[in-house]
Amino acid sequence: MEYDFREIESRWQKFWAENRTFKVDKETDRKKYYVLDMFPYPSGAGLHVGHPLGYIASDIFSRYKRLRGYNVLHPMGYDSFGLPAEQYAIQTGQHPALTTEQNIARYRQQMDQLGFCFDWNREVRTSEPAYYRWTQWIFLELFNSWYNPRTNRAESIDSLIEIFSNEGLNLNASDILTGDIEKELKTFSATEWNAFTEVQKREVLMYFRLAYLGEAYVNWCPALGTVLANDEVINGVSERGGHPVERKLLKQWSMRITAYAQRLLDGLDTLDWTDSIKESQRNWIGRSEGASLRFPIQDREGSVEVFTTRPDTIFGVAFVTLAPEHELVNSLTTDEQRAEVEAYVNTAKNRSERERMADVNTISGVFTGSYVSHPFTGQPVPIWVGDYVLVGYGTGAVMAVPAHDERDYKFAKHFGLPIKQVIEPTREFDLQKDAWTDKEGVLINSEILNGLEVKKAIPKAIEAIEEHGFGKKRINYRLRDAVFGRQRYWGEPIPIYYKEGVPYALSADELPLTLPEVDKYLPTEDGEPPLARASNWKYQGVYDYEHSTMPGWAGSSWYFLRYMDPQNTGTFASNADTAYWNQVDLYIGGAEHATGHLLYARFWTKVLFDLGHIPFQEPFQKMINQGMILGKSSFVYRINGSNSFVTFSKKEEYQTTPIHADISLVDNGKLDIDGFRKWRSEFAESEFICEEDGSYLCGTEVEKMSKSKYNVQTPDELVEKFGADTLRMYEMFLGPLEQSKPWDTKGINGVHNFLRKLWRLFHDQEGQIVVENGEAPKEALKTLHKTIKKMQDDLERFSFNTGVSNFMICVNELSEQKCHNHLILKELVIMLSPYAPHISEELWVKLGYESGTVGKQHFPAFNESFLVESSFAYPVSFNGKMRFKAELSLDLNADEVQKAILSREDTQKWLEGNAPKKVIVVPGKIVNIVM
RNA sequence: GCGGAUGUGGUGAAAUUGGUAGACACGCUAGACUUAGGAUCUAGUGCCGAGAGGUGUGCGGGUUCGAGUCCCUCCAUCCGCACCA
């Protein structure tokens, strides 16, 4: 009987499902381990071979940890709200819930056929009301909280109300964060607060809530008809679809993630993540230390506030530049300059983000006609407007020091503005050509700062600025608050209603606020989001609900918590469960979520921690980012202006255009010409110029695996051909998990043959069991224990590819030894069960054990005594070059080894009569003779 | 420009602490067997060379008895971020 993987695999998958083999429960007397995969968005295309890569790794690790005695939580679910289902709904009129349901069914079937040990009793779907009820509940928690800088944590908004009714708001005390430093809020006394109307109070509180409705410049994407978060905009276009994005001032729900900037930064040091992801997050948060500084406006009240990281260069200020959108631009423009300024501001405002980024080298700007006074010297400093200053960063205004800042330098040169040097460069340098931007040198022309090194001048300058009351030390973050509303249908409704234009939150017991039915999934005629179409969808039948929905990242920011206690209807997860399961011990997923999901999930976790709902403040302790599996695309070459295709080797003789050919039509580079003709009607009549042997050879290129490139390989056909165990091991065998690699099925036979070879250790040619009882042979014990050692070492360092090789080496050796010993094979099957669970279950039963129990065994114990050797083949090197080997007893000490080696004929031959200068002997390792 | 990662046979790769470079697998070559199976078995396979031997981990240098591994310089590819004050 041959290895019949189809029969074996379907039988065991059924067994696992029927016996709920992978159901886990909290067991407080056992140590827990939480292994999490990034849950998928169930797209219509199904899974391709790249998707399960991480799932296979996490599955192997989960099963391994179980063999090590841990109680392992390994759940799976679906991030099932999202744009593609909605776009499809717009096109077809089909409800997104329906297509989502169908897609999930397909994903489930694809995952099941791979034999994963997920506990499906814990499945979550973000689009289910039973789930998003708690997403909405967390939103309410955020809405009803503020960040208290005195305690440095989130607190109930009640504690802020208490502060206001006792102390009022005194912004000069500088201990109250609004999160948006550029927003001015009028101060008030406790008495004034208490006299405020409900509406006034709510308006003030809105500046502090962690989830708030605020006016801000947002990324508006007209094509998608919605706003986007910063991480959803890549190079000025939308991440999904690549549509242009504009900056627009809009009222939007936002999350005050900026309040957590410092803690999000500090927390990174405690995490076992790759440097590249940590760096991305640090970069995204973008902390910079400096000072905020006010320049009084000449001839009128008020001042221009700037942020600078180089307060030491204060005496080199030549002008001040405002962003075109800066609120003071209009009032600072003199009548003579008005026409010019307005024209400039209009052009700058109307340029899309993409255009603005596309030409960063064009210098443009305009003088407002007004001046500020230099805070120290009182000299007039002209105020300019320039689009190199961004309204969203710092204060939207800079003090320009052309001599020591690249952009200021270029701006000054372009407009002929003065360049005043205040730092003496530390090496030969021509200030006529460039700005000296190094943070070193000695200050000159700077009154009180003269003679100081830059590093000393910075604190001294800040000290002086604070002393004179011109400004203060400030830490600035690039991180912006995250826009939270989407003008879309297929997302969580935001649990807010409006009374007299003022937003009110639903109470927790009114949740879930379920998604209403609409006639169309499009905006209304007057531009309202789709939810505005829902008839009679009003709070208490009277008040309008919020019509925007939550963004994709809402549901995924806390799903790892729901898995801990997925059916709980009284809370998002019980305290007992969050305390037991705690942080995710191992998180496996793509690196593309570095600044989105991974930052938002950390933020929400910190808020829930602050509010006392969970006992930890980082969600994912260790993370591994699996590399992308790239597709190998095939190309045919169409001769331009014809319907003829020329084979790869002759394509240089013609002017051709490469066209993707479906990889299923290509075998080993050769095109199935008939199949290609039938594939698309436009090719039905095509002519082919072939190789000499009559075949048509395709070109190949490694690209991202994608439907549009016709290079997608689904796991289904490979499972059908080789079985899940083979595919699981092959995906691991491809190389290190973290590395990107092209997909190529060439080597899959090797892995499949390994499993057949393993099968033959148990069976003879007739399919009869040949397992022998009795004592294990010494040689086999050595092979086994060598493998045990390597397997556990490799698994502990997540080296799954070398793990597969270890099994191959082990089975090769046992085959050579003709070992069919029960004791050896039993341990081997246990070790293999994480990698190839189906065949392991099958062989386990064949060894006479109970069905379904192989995963509940203990990982074999390593016994070093089986590996002890009496002799060693010393590699003998001359000047570091290995020349021959000499078998010597391991009992010999270094001197004895040296003597034995030097007396050998081989040695004399290589010495060519010379005396060795030096002999290095590392017992049990190497001998090196220096000549 | 800044940051991160990666460079090893025809291919995917291994080498965990500085100690035999290329394990394991694919592919290829030659042979055996056969109930013709994407089977199995044997031998070979980094490059140059008939061979002795030489040479070899992106380039160049350094430390060391000994470097794929440590240090310096440079190059290439990929991925983030980027008028960030």
Cβ(A860)–Cβ(A879) below 8 Å? no
Nucleotides of B under 7 A from a protein CB: 3-6, 11-16, 19-21, 23-27, 38-42, 65-67, 78-85
CA of A739 vs C1' of B72, distance in Å? 28
A60 CA to centre of own chain: 22
* pLDDT attached to residue A87: 87
A182 CA to centre of own chain: 30
The reply to whether A418 has its C-beta less than 7 Å from any atom of strand B is no
CA of A55 vs C1' of B8, distance in Å? 29
Q: Between residues A237 and A37, which one has the greater pLDDT?
A: A37
The reply to whether A654 has its C-beta less than 7 Å from any atom of strand B is no
CA of A354 vs C1' of B79, distance in Å? 21
The reply to whether A460 has its C-beta less than 7 Å from any atom of strand B is no
* pLDDT attached to residue A723: 94
pLDDT digits (tens, 9 = 90+) for A208-254: 999 999 887 788 888 888 888 777 777 777 777 778 777 777 888 99
ipTM of the complex: 0.93
The crossing angle, in degrees rounded to 10, of helices A715-722 and A748-762 is 30
Mean pLDDT within A595-607: 94
End-to-end CA distance of chain A: 61
Nucleotide nearest to A751 (CA to C1'): B25
* pLDDT attached to residue A234: 75
Place of tokens 């140590």: A31
The reply to whether A664 has its C-beta less than 7 Å from any atom of strand B is no
The strand B neighbours among A residues 566-625, by Cβ under 7 Å, are 591-592, 594-595
Mean pLDDT lowest for which of A8-12, A387-391, A663-667, A808-812? A663-667
Token pair, residue A547, equals: 């019509």
Asked whether residue A41 carries a pLDDT value surpassing 60, the answer given is yes
Asked whether residue A860 carries a pLDDT value surpassing 50, the answer given is yes
CA of A231 vs C1' of B80, distance in Å? 12
Cβ(A373)–Cβ(A296) below 8 Å? yes
* pLDDT attached to residue A214: 87
Single-letter code of the amino acid located at A648: F
Place of tokens 């069960």: A833
A539 forms beta bridges with A543
Nearest-CA neighbor of A736 among A793, A795, A799, A791? Answer: A799
Rounded CA-CA distance A466/A291 in Å is 9
The reply to whether A746 has its C-beta less than 7 Å from any atom of strand B is yes
Residue A880, phi-psi category: left (phi > 0), alpha (psi -120 to 50), beta (remainder): left
CA of A156 vs C1' of B75, distance in Å? 57
Residue A147: in which H helix or E strand, if any? strand A145-148
pLDDT digits (tens, 9 = 90+) for A447-486: 899 999 998 999 999 999 999 999 888 888 889 888 898 8
Mean pLDDT lowest for which of A16-20, A106-110, A426-430, A618-622? A426-430
Mean pLDDT within A161-165: 93
CA of A322 vs C1' of B83, distance in Å? 13
Token pair, residue A873, equals: 């083949």
Mean pLDDT within A596-607: 95
Residue A909: in which H helix or E strand, if any? helix A905-911
Mean pLDDT within A355-360: 67
Q: Find all residues with CB under 8 Å of A71, minimum gap 6, and list them.
A: A24, A26, A27, A30, A31, A32, A33
* pLDDT attached to residue A353: 64
The strand B neighbours among A residues 329-368, by Cβ under 7 Å, are 356-357, 359-360, 362
Mean pLDDT lowest for which of A483-492, A572-581, A629-638, A759-768? A629-638
The reply to whether A279 has its C-beta less than 7 Å from any atom of strand B is yes
CA of A920 vs C1' of B64, distance in Å? 12
Asked whether residue A276 carries a pLDDT value surpassing 70, the answer given is yes
In this complex, which residue's CA is closest to the C1' atom of nucleotide B55? A881
A411 forms beta bridges with none
CA of A904 vs C1' of B64, distance in Å? 27
Nucleotide nearest to A351 (CA to C1'): B83
Q: Between residues A500 and A667, which one has the greater pLDDT?
A: A500
- How many of the other CB atoms lie within 10 Å of CB of A786? 17
Asked whether residue A144 carries a pLDDT value surpassing 90, the answer given is yes
CA of A55 vs C1' of B79, distance in Å? 22
**Portion of chain A with pLDDT greater than 90, in percent:** 58
Asked whether residue A641 carries a pLDDT value surpassing 60, the answer given is yes
pLDDT digits (tens, 9 = 90+) for A869-913: 888 888 888 888 888 888 888 888 888 888 888 888 778 878 777
Asked whether residue A181 carries a pLDDT value surpassing 60, the answer given is no
CA of A742 vs C1' of B11, distance in Å? 11
In this complex, which residue's CA is closest to the C1' atom of nucleotide B15? A802
* pLDDT attached to residue A26: 93
Q: How would you classify the pairing of strands A471-477 and A287-296? A: antiparallel
The reply to whether A1 has its C-beta less than 7 Å from any atom of strand B is no
Cβ(A580)–Cβ(A615) below 8 Å? no
* pLDDT attached to residue A180: 53
The reply to whether A793 has its C-beta less than 7 Å from any atom of strand B is yes
Q: Between residues A650 and A128, which one has the greater pLDDT?
A: A128
The strand B neighbours among A residues 695-714, by Cβ under 7 Å, are none
A885 forms beta bridges with A875
**What burial class does residue A810 get, using C-beta atoms within 10 Å of its C-beta: 0-12 exposed, 13-18 middle, 19+ buried?**
buried
The reply to whether A639 has its C-beta less than 7 Å from any atom of strand B is no
The reply to whether A249 has its C-beta less than 7 Å from any atom of strand B is no
Nucleotide nearest to A230 (CA to C1'): B81
In this complex, which residue's CA is closest to the C1' atom of nucleotide B2? A283
CA of A466 vs C1' of B62, distance in Å? 51
Asked whether residue A173 carries a pLDDT value surpassing 60, the answer given is no
Mean pLDDT within A89-111: 94
Mean pLDDT lowest for which of A177-191, A325-339, A558-572, A710-724? A177-191
Binned at pLDDT 50, 70 and 90, residue A673 comes out as confident
The reply to whether A731 has its C-beta less than 7 Å from any atom of strand B is no
Rounded CA-CA distance A749/A770 in Å is 25
Token pair, residue A13, equals: 């998958």
Please confirm whether the linkage preceding A512 is cis (ω < 30° from 0). yes
Asked whether residue A182 carries a pLDDT value surpassing 50, the answer given is no
Nucleotide nearest to A816 (CA to C1'): B41
CA of A600 vs C1' of B74, distance in Å? 40
The reply to whether A786 has its C-beta less than 7 Å from any atom of strand B is no
CA of A705 vs C1' of B21, distance in Å? 34
The strand B neighbours among A residues 310-329, by Cβ under 7 Å, are 310, 323
Nucleotide nearest to A918 (CA to C1'): B65
CA of A597 vs C1' of B17, distance in Å? 38
* pLDDT attached to residue A172: 58
The strand B neighbours among A residues 140-169, by Cβ under 7 Å, are none
The strand B neighbours among A residues 794-813, by Cβ under 7 Å, are 794, 797, 799, 801-802, 804-805, 808-809, 812
* pLDDT attached to residue A360: 67
* pLDDT attached to residue A757: 92
Binned at pLDDT 50, 70 and 90, residue A73 comes out as very high
* pLDDT attached to residue A312: 94
Nearest-CA neighbor of A40 among A565, A485, A593, A564? Answer: A593
The reply to whether A851 has its C-beta less than 7 Å from any atom of strand B is no
Residue A716: in which H helix or E strand, if any? helix A715-722
In this complex, which residue's CA is closest to the C1' atom of nucleotide B3? A279
Nucleotide nearest to A594 (CA to C1'): B80
DSSP, res A622: B
pLDDT digits (tens, 9 = 90+) for A780-799: 999 999 999 999 999 999 99
Nearest-CA neighbor of A672 among A652, A646, A698, A710? Answer: A698
CA of A879 vs C1' of B71, distance in Å? 22
**What burial class does residue A11 get, using C-beta atoms within 10 Å of its C-beta: 0-12 exposed, 13-18 middle, 19+ buried?**
middle
The reply to whether A631 has its C-beta less than 7 Å from any atom of strand B is no
* pLDDT attached to residue A307: 92
Mean pLDDT lowest for which of A29-43, A104-118, A643-657, A916-930? A643-657
DSSP, res A196: S
* pLDDT attached to residue A394: 85
CA of A883 vs C1' of B70, distance in Å? 25
**Coil, helix or strand for A181?**
coil
* pLDDT attached to residue A863: 93
Mean pLDDT within A586-605: 92
Asked whether residue A352 carries a pLDDT value surpassing 70, the answer given is no
Nucleotide nearest to A760 (CA to C1'): B40
The reply to whether A878 has its C-beta less than 7 Å from any atom of strand B is no
Cβ(A24)–Cβ(A73) below 8 Å? yes
The reply to whether A736 has its C-beta less than 7 Å from any atom of strand B is yes
Mean pLDDT within A698-709: 78
The reply to whether A437 has its C-beta less than 7 Å from any atom of strand B is no
**Coil, helix or strand for A652?**
helix
Q: Where are the beta strands (DSSP E) in A336-465?
A: 365-373, 380-386, 397-400, 423-424, 442-443
The reply to whether A390 has its C-beta less than 7 Å from any atom of strand B is yes
Nucleotide nearest to A742 (CA to C1'): B12
The reply to whether A788 has its C-beta less than 7 Å from any atom of strand B is no
CA of A739 vs C1' of B76, distance in Å? 18
**Coil, helix or strand for A709?**
helix
